[in-house]
Amino acid sequence: EGYSILHAAIRKGKTEVVTFALVNGANVDLRSKSKKSPLHYAAQYNQLAAAKLLVEAKADLTVKDTRGRTALDLAQGETKRELVKFLRSAGMKSRDDEAAAKSIFVAAKIGSVEAIKKHLAAGVDVNAKNKNDYTALHFAASAGQVDAVAALIEAKSDVALADKVKRTALHYAVSNKHQATAALLLEKGAPVNAKDKSGKTPLDRATGKSRAALAELLRSKGGKTAKEMLATENIFIAAEEGDVESINKLLAAGADVNAKNKSGYTALHLSAKRGHDAVAAVLLEAKADVTLASQSGKTALHYVADYNGNLDLAMRLIAGQAPINTKDGRKRTPLDYAQLRKRAELAELLRSNGGKTSKELAAAGSIFAAAEVGDLKALNKLLAADGADVNATNKSGYTALHLAVRKGKQDAAALLLEKGANVNAQRKGCTPLDFARKNTEIAALLRAKGGLTRLELRAEQDILYAAANGYAEAILRYIEKGGDVNKTNRKGYSALHFAANSGYVEVVRVLVANKIEVDAAANRYKKTGLHYAARHGRKEIATLLLDKGANVNAIDRSGRTPVDIAEHYRRSETAELLRERGGKRASELKPEEGNGDKPNPQPLMIDDELGQLTGEEVALTLTLGQAGPGLVIDGWPGEQYLIEASSDLINWIGVEEVDNAEGSVNWVDPRVEPVPGQFYRVQILD
C-alpha cells in the first residue's frame, strides 16, 4: 500500500513513534499508493495528537488523495469534532467548502457552521427542503455534525420535519449511530416515537449491540417500537410485547379479556407463548379463561411447554385451573411438549400435577399404548377384559410385545409373556427379539421363553438358509423334527452344498452325522460338496466329507475333479489332502476311476451363484460371430488376463493379454485362421 513508518504509526495511534520519526527526518508529506499523506491518516483514524504534531512539522494542508479529498474531508462525524475544529483553525479547507458556500445542505453535511450562518444571514430558509424533502437538519444529523445541528436548531430548524419517506432527523441520527446528535435532538424536542413510511420509530432503527446505548437513550425519553406503540390500542399486541401498563389500560377501558384475534389467539395465549408471566397474571386476575384453545387446539399451558418452559408462568396457569392433559390438534398434551423440548423441570411439575403424555392417556383404552408406556395396571385390566387378545396386532402390524420391547419396557414384556404373548410373533419378518438387541436384560427374558431373531426363526424353518448362514443348532432341531436333510432347492442345491461353500464346519459335522448324501451333485454344474470345499480351500470340511465316504474323484460338468479345482485355485493344503486320499486330476484318471462318467474336460471354469465373483475367478461366455470365435469375460475392473488356446486340452498356447477396464471384456480371437475345434481358457495375471 506504500505505507511509511509514519503512516503505520499514525494508524496505530503510536504518538511516540510519530515524534521519533519526525525528529529523525521522516518526510511529513510522504504519500501512500492512494496518495494519502500522514495527515490524511491522522484524520481518517481520528488521531488528534498526531495531527497536531504533523501541522507543527509544517505538513502540507492542501494535499489531496486520489479521490480529491483533503484530510478535512476524512474528518467527518460527531466523534471527530475536535479534530475538525483543529484542522479548520490551522487553515485547512475541505473539498466541499466551495460547494458549501453555494448550498446550505452541503454546508450542513460537512458541518461548516460558518457557511451555514452565512446562508442564514443571506435569507436562506432554515427549513428549506431539497427534492427528497431533506432539510439541512436531516443532512447534519445523518452525518453526525453536532455543531451544525446545534446551529440549525438555534436558528429555529423544525426538529419534527420529515422527508418523503417520513423520516425525521432523529431517525437518521439513530440509523447512523450518532449518539451525541440523537441526544441533542431529543433535548430540543425531536418526536421520539415518530413513524416513518414503513411504520418504524427511531427505536425500531436502534438495533444490534452497536446501537444498544442509543436504544437505552430513546427508552429513557419514552421511546417505543412500532409494535409497542400499537400495544396501547391492541390487547393482543400488548400481550405479545409484555406491555403490562397497556394491558391494564385496555382492560379498564372495557377490552374483552377472552377475545380472539383472526388467528384464534387470546391475549393469554400470546402472553404464554412469549413467556410474559406478569401479563398473564393481570389477564388471569381479569378472569381470562385458561381452558380456551387456539385454532391449533393449544391452550396457554401448551404454549408455555412448547415455546419457553417458564416455570413461574406454568405454575400460575396450573393454579388457575388450567387443564393439564388437554390434547391439541396434533394429539399432544403439555407434557408431550415438555418432553419433546427436553424441559425436565417443567415435565416434573406437570407430572406432579397429574400430567400425562398422550400415549399414557391412550394406555387406559389400548393394549398397544399400555405396552408402549409400560402401564402394568392398564395392561392387566385390558387383558382381563372379555375378548382380549394378547397377540392382536395394531394397524402397523405390531403386537403389544413388539411395542413393549421396542420401548424397553421390561416389566410390560414379562407380563405379556406371562399372559401368553407369542414370543416369536413377526411383523415384516421382525420378531420382538430383533428389537431387543441393545437391551440385554429384555433379550435374556425373551430367550428364556424361546425367543428368536427373524434370521434364527427363518433358520428354524429352512434348512438351506440355516446351512448357508451357519445355524447348526437350528439344523439339529430340524432333523429331530423329521426334516429331510437332503432337501434341495429348485436349482438342486442341498444344505451340504451351501455349508461347504460358506465354510460352516459345525453345520457340515451335523449333516454328515445324519445320513447326508455326500456325493449329491448340485445343479447343472454337477458339483459335489467336496468340489465346493476344494474351491475355497476348506480342508476341515473336505476331511469330514472324505471320512464320510465322499468320492474324491467326482467329476463335475466342466470335467473337473476336486483336485483340479483345488490346484487351479492354489489351495495347496486341500489339494495335498485330496491327493493323500487318492484324488487325481481328471486327466490322470483311469477309466475305472472317477464317478463312473467318462471324463469330458471342458475349457471353462465357471462358478455358479454359490461362488460369487471374489476377485479370484471370472465368468466366461463363448461367442461365435462373423469376426470369429471369442469370449465375453466378466470379472473385476483393473484385472489383466492371459487368454490361451488348445486343440487337445493338454498343449496350451498364449493368444493375447487383455485388460479389463470396466468389469467386462468382449474378446475376439485375433488370429487370422483359428484352428477348428479350439478350446480357450483364461488366466488372471498377478
Q: Which three cell numbers stand for residue 251?
A: 382492560
At residue 681, the 3 state secondary structure works out as strand
User: Model confidence at 675, in pLDDT bands (50, 70, 90)?
Assistant: low
pLDDT of 592: 62
Give the pLDDT band (50/70/90) at residue 591: low
Mean pLDDT of 5-16: 89
Residue 393, SS3 per DSSP: strand
**Are the beta carbons of 594 and 586 closer than 8 angstroms?**
yes
Number of domains in the chain: 5
- Model pLDDT, residue 663: 63
500 lies in the same domain as 560:
yes
The DSSP-derived string for 401-447 is HHHHHHTT-HHHHHHHHHTT--TT--BTTB-GGGGGTT-HHHHHHHH
Q: Is the pLDDT of residue 618 over 80?
A: no
The answer to the question of residue 425 being in a domain is yes
My answer on whether 582 and 467 are in the same domain is yes
Identify the pLDDT of residue 441: 95
Strands of 653-659's sheet in order across: 653-659, 640-646, 679-684
pLDDT higher than 50, residue 66: yes
Q: What is the mean pLDDT of residues 95-115?
A: 89
In this structure, are 639 and 555 located in the same domain? no
What is the average per-residue pLDDT within 625-635?
78
Judge whether 367 lies within some domain. Answer: no
* Cβ proximity of 574 and 539 under 8 Å: yes
Does the residue 264 lie in any domain?
Answer: yes
> Mean per-residue pLDDT for 480-500?
90
The whole-number pLDDT of residue 606 equals: 43
- The pLDDT of residue 73: 85
Between CA 105 and CA 99 the distance in angstroms is: 9
User: Which CATH number goes with the domain that contains 309?
Assistant: 1.25.40.20
Q: Exposed/middle/buried for 685, CB within 10 Å: 0-12, 13-18, 19+?
A: exposed
Instruction: Answer with the one of 392, 420, 452 that is the final residue of a domain.
Output: 452
Band (628; pLDDT cuts 50, 70, 90)? confident
Kindly state whether residue 51 falls inside one of the protein's structural domains. Answer: yes
Pair (448, 483) in one structural domain: no
Q: How confident is the model at residue 582 (pLDDT cuts 50, 70, 90)?
A: very high
Per-residue model confidence as pLDDT tens digits over 444-475:
999 999 998 888 888 888 899 999 899 999 99
Do 554 and 447 belong together in one domain?
A: no
Q: Looking at the structure, do residues 397 and 280 belong to the same domain, yes or no?
A: no
Mean pLDDT of 570-592: 91
Query: Given 323, 356, 389, which residue is the final one in a domain?
Result: 356
Question: Cell digits for 143?
Answer: 452525518
Q: Which of 348, 341, 263 is nearest to 309 (CA)?
A: 341
- Give the domain extent around 625: 619-684
The better pLDDT of the pair 338, 639 is held by 338
Mean pLDDT, residues 473-486 taken together: 92
444 vs 647: CA distance, rounded Å:
65
Angle separating helix axes 311-319 and 300-307, nearest 10 degrees: 160
Give the distance, in angstroms, between the CA of residue 61 and the centroid of all CA atoms in the same chain: 60
Each residue's pLDDT tens digit, 501-550: 989 999 999 999 998 999 988 767 789 999 999 999 999 999 999 999 99
pLDDT given for residue 607 in this prediction: 46
Instruction: Report the alpha-carbon distance of residue 560 to residue 565 in Å, rounded.
Output: 7
pLDDT at 613 over 60: no
131 within 8 A of 109, measured Cβ to Cβ = no
- Classify strands 664-668 and 653-659 as parallel, antiparallel or unpaired: unpaired
Among 67-81, 271-285, 466-480, 610-624, the least confident range: 610-624
Predicted confidence (pLDDT) per residue in 183-223, tens digit: 999 999 999 999 999 999 999 999 888 899 999 999 999 89
> In this structure, are residues 641 and 684 in contact, taking their beta carbons and an 8 Å threshold?
yes
CA 51/CA 311 separation, integer angstroms: 59
Residue 487 and residue 568 in one domain: yes
Amino acid identity for residue 506 in this structure:
E
Q: Are residues 512 and 576 in the same domain?
A: yes
Based on C-alpha coordinates, what's the Rg of the chain? 47
Whole-number percent of the chain with pLDDT over 90: 61
Per-residue pLDDT at 630 exceeds 90? no
Q: What is the pLDDT of residue 438?
A: 86
If asked whether residues 447 and 504 sit together in one domain, one would say no
Q: What per-residue confidence (pLDDT) applies to 125?
A: 96
Number of residues that make up the chain: 686
pLDDT digit string (tens) for 290-333?
Answer: 999 999 999 999 999 999 999 999 999 999 999 999 999 999 99
Q: What is the pLDDT of residue 616?
A: 52
674 confidence band (pLDDT: 50, 70, 90): low
Residue 622 has a pLDDT of 81
pLDDT tens, 128-172? 999 999 999 999 999 999 999 999 999 999 999 999 999 999 999
Q: Which tens digit of pLDDT belongs to each residue from 334-352?
A: 999 999 999 999 999 999 9
DSSP secondary structure letter of residue 352: H
Per-residue pLDDT at 605 exceeds 70: no
Render the burial of 426-446: b for 16+ CB within 10 Å, e for the rest. bbeebbbbbbbeebeebbebb
**Is the distance from CB of 654 to CB of 617 less than 8 angstroms?**
no
Chosen domain end from 452, 473, 504: 452
Residue pointed to by grid coordinates 489339494: 575
Question: Is residue 491 in a domain?
Answer: yes
Nearest residue to 479 via CA among 489, 491, 467: 467
* Residue-level pLDDT at 5: 84
- Provide the pLDDT confidence category of residue 604 given band limits of 50, 70 and 90: very low
**How much is the pLDDT for 16?**
92
Partner residues linked to 656 by β-bridges:
643
Q: Are residues 435 and 488 in the same domain?
A: no
Same domain, 469 and 440: no
- Residue 659 falls in which region: left (phi positive, over 0), alpha (psi -120 to 50) or beta: beta
| Residue 451 burial (10 A CB sphere; 0-12, 13-18, 19+) | buried
In a domain, 11, yes or no: yes
pLDDT on residue 285? 96
Per the domain annotation, does 202 fall within a domain?
no
Query: Is residue 104 situated within a structural domain?
Result: no
When pLDDT is averaged across residues 223-235 and rounded to a whole number, the result is 82
Describe the chain by its helix, strand, coil percentages, rounded to 5.
Answer: 45, 5, 45
pLDDT given for residue 645 in this prediction: 87
- pLDDT at 647 exceeding the cut of 90: no
445 and 474 co-located in one domain: no
What confidence score (pLDDT) does residue 673 get? Answer: 64
pLDDT, one tens digit per residue, over 350-404 is 999 989 899 888 877 789 988 999 989 989 998 988 888 999 998 889 999 999 9
